[in-house]
Amino acid sequence: MRRPKKYESGEATQYISRRAALRKLQLSLNDFRRLCILKGVYPREPKHRRRAQKGSSEIKILYHTKDIRFLLHEPIVWTLRDYKIFAKKSGRDRAIKDFRNLKRRLALFPEIKLDHIVKERYPTFIDALKDLDDCLTLLFLFSTFPSLHLIPREQSNLCRRLTIEFLHYVIASKSLRKVFISIKGYYFQAEIKGQKINWIVPHYYPFKPQSRQEVDFKVMSIFVEFYTIMLGFTNFRLYHGLNLAYPPQFPSGVLQDNDETLKDESSFVSERIAALNFELLRTDKLQEDEEEPDIDMELLEQDGDSKRIIKMKQDAQEITRLRTLFKGLKFFINREVPREPLVIIIRSFGGKVSWDSTVFSGSTYDEGDESITHQIVDRPSLATQYISRDYIQPQWIFDCVNQRQLLPTNQYFIGEKLPPHLSPFVDAKRDTYIPPEERALHDPSLIETHAQSDDESEEETAAQEEEEDAVEQELLDAQLQRAYQEETAEYKKYGGADGVNEDEEDSDDEQLYEDEDESDDDEEEELDEKAQRLLEEKQKMSVQSGKVHKVNKRQVHKAEVDEHRLQARMVKPRHRNLFRKLIREKQSKEKEEWLLRKKRRNIDTDAKEQKKTAKRDARKAAAAAAAAAAQLGAK
């Protein structure tokens, strides 16, 4: 038997470099790239690069030989070759101005068929759902694009159509779970068939001309080419799952037939569909509320209550509550507020929504409607306001969804300084830094206790200041008396006013975490101990009553740390590097956390200081005014 030579078997034959792959497939690099993107073939990282590259150690792009062999049998390779032939022949026709032939050829343009590739890349529907993240984000981006050299108008139109269809599904199935406004765009998370699907909708006008080095639209366009097909099939199946007619249509009753609609029906309908504000046509006639979750619950109840099941039950309940979060509420979106993201959210949680009819077609009621409960505004003030509704900023909607409950609106009123918008995607039980706002959300009790302590502290400070201001007190009293009388008079005149107590709430939030300051007072303790020791030495001569031995926390801690360090040195040599890496990571994380905490503390103290000075200034001003008033009175 012949002895095999080096690199004739094993890893060297498992991998093939890109250049070799090109030669084997007889494709140009561009075609190969296109093929790889469409077929989802990617380079592999070999276990031993040197061996896989037949001894050379430079880093090459390696593909699995089997993948390349798999590409060899792909029918679209022939279409790619046909493209080349097409380009050659049509170019010739154009050159010799044989336009009759050219027209005939253009009609015979070799179309690429990707249906089988979708099936092959995603053998089950769930697989397709799992891979929907990138697809949706890219299509949402492309749906905003103008017509470009490399991106035909049709492609971006198709993207727009498919994404709107998907949003309709999300609304109809009420599968939206989490939403988040980031500086990059709106993050949405939907749960479809148990898969969590995240996508980003960019803020308005994301397109900006890009240099060739920065962004190659050609590559993205190829991705979009595949993703549109994939999303189309996914939408088809999703719609059928809900018994909706797939190319989305409206039931006949929804749209009034007037001249305008009849004139250009297709564009009218597509516009209305893009408005996302109407129910779609169902293929089954009966339209009832889904009862699936209830059935699930019953099944769970039979199983008894282990911890997991209890948790699942809670989740299910929460989700049912979330689905009807905005039920019965009527929203109106002001002109300046981004319409689409808000419409998706409101409609998928059962609310009714409309907007100014000049902004976009499909509005159902106008601003004057008295039954509107919330108007979403994003401007500092509004000229005409209705008493019957809350004027809130858009963040309220997002925060409500993330909290899965209707939050009090007073923090989100028009012109109000908004509380921080927190990400719903971070794990609540993580061991890194948790900002106080988030902690308050998980444990509402925290707010109250701290509010109380805060009040106390305020009282104390007030007491201190009382002494200082003792002289002015009488004047102040007189002033206050007068002010109070005026105020009551006004009150009688205008009726009750609301929203006075916001200042207090603000202060609550800001003074949440004082105890952190107190936790770092080891040094003080040590100082105390030294003093004690000195005292002891002084009084050594006389007999003293026994003292309780106080453990020096710091020393104990240091001893523990030392001990731990020594033990850490016993890590096995083969784990040592890993251990070091882990420790380094942990340390950096801790440092990060510490830094954030420190920053927060500084910010809080600054804010407190400012408030105090402001208060003092206000008081002084009031005193001065009172004095002036008294003088006037004397005259």
Q: Under rule CB under 8 A, which residues in 306-335 are in contact with other proteins?
A: none
Q: Which is nearer to other proteins, 110 or 206 (CB)?
A: 206
603-607 long-range Cβ contacts below 8 angstroms, 24+ apart:
604/510, 604/511, 604/513, 607/510
Q: What are phi and psi of 632, to 5 degrees?
A: -60, -45
CA dist 191 and 245 (Å) reads: 21
Residue 511 binds to other proteins (criterion: CB under 8 A): no
Residues 6-65 within binding reach of other proteins (CB under 8 A): 33, 36-37, 39-47, 61-62, 64
Residue 354 binds to other proteins (criterion: CB under 8 A): no
Residue 566 binds to other proteins (criterion: CB under 8 A): yes
Stretch that binds other proteins, among 462-470, 490-498, 524-532, 557-565 (CB under 8 A): 557-565
Rounded to the nearest whole angstrom, what is the least distance from the CB of residue 148 to other proteins in the complex?
12
DSSP 124: S
Contact call for residues 367 and 383 (beta carbons, < 8 A) = no
Residue 625 binds to other proteins (criterion: CB under 8 A): no
Contact call for residues 202 and 185 (beta carbons, < 8 A) = yes
Q: Which is nearer to other proteins, 27 or 114 (CB)?
A: 114
- Per CB under 8 A, the list member of 17, 101, 435, 446 interacting with other proteins is 435
Which residues, 6+ apart, have CB-to-CB distance to 269 below 8 Å?
249, 250, 255
Residue 590 binds to other proteins (criterion: CB under 8 A): no
Rounded to the nearest whole angstrom, what is the least distance from the CB of residue 82 to other proteins in the complex?
17
Q: Which amino acid makes up residue 530? A: K
Contact call for residues 331 and 392 (beta carbons, < 8 A) = no
CA dist 224 and 222 (Å) reads: 5
Least Cα distance to 35 among 80, 73, 65, 69 occurs for 80
Q: Which is nearer to other proteins, 462 or 595 (CB)?
A: 595
Rounded to the nearest whole angstrom, what is the least distance from the CB of residue 536 to other proteins in the complex?
20
- Per CB under 8 A, the list member of 98, 131, 472, 506 interacting with other proteins is 131
- Per CB under 8 A, the list member of 428, 531, 556, 583 interacting with other proteins is 583
Classify residue 10 as left (phi > 0), alpha (psi -120 to 50) or beta.
Answer: left
User: Judging by beta carbons within 10 Å of its beta carbon (0-12, 13-18, 19+), is residue 79 exposed, middle or buried?
Assistant: middle
Rounded to the nearest whole angstrom, what is the least distance from the CB of residue 70 to other proteins in the complex?
6
Residue 86 binds to other proteins (criterion: CB under 8 A): no
Residues 287-306 within binding reach of other proteins (CB under 8 A): none
Rounded to the nearest whole angstrom, what is the least distance from the CB of residue 190 to other proteins in the complex?
13
- Per CB under 8 A, the list member of 77, 158, 172, 440 interacting with other proteins is 158
Q: Which is nearer to other proteins, 156 or 479 (CB)?
A: 156
Residues 359-388 within binding reach of other proteins (CB under 8 A): 378-379
Q: Which is nearer to other proteins, 103 or 530 (CB)?
A: 103
Rounded to the nearest whole angstrom, what is the least distance from the CB of residue 216 to other proteins in the complex?
7
Least Cα distance to 380 among 417, 354, 343 occurs for 417
Rounded to the nearest whole angstrom, what is the least distance from the CB of residue 348 to other proteins in the complex?
19
CA dist 398 and 376 (Å) reads: 12
Tokens of 335: 């002109």
Residue 582 binds to other proteins (criterion: CB under 8 A): yes
Residue 248 binds to other proteins (criterion: CB under 8 A): no
Q: Which is nearer to other proteins, 208 or 493 (CB)?
A: 208
Rounded to the nearest whole angstrom, what is the least distance from the CB of residue 551 to other proteins in the complex?
15
Rounded to the nearest whole angstrom, what is the least distance from the CB of residue 600 to other proteins in the complex?
4
Torsion, Cα of 430, 435, 436, 442 (10° steps): -40
Stretch that binds other proteins, among 124-132, 309-317, 496-504, 538-546 (CB under 8 A): 124-132
Least Cα distance to 238 among 173, 284, 157, 161 occurs for 173
Contact call for residues 413 and 378 (beta carbons, < 8 A) = no
Residues 162-201 within binding reach of other proteins (CB under 8 A): 180-185, 187, 193, 198
The dihedral sign for the CA sequence 277, 282, 286, 292:
negative
Residue 443 binds to other proteins (criterion: CB under 8 A): no
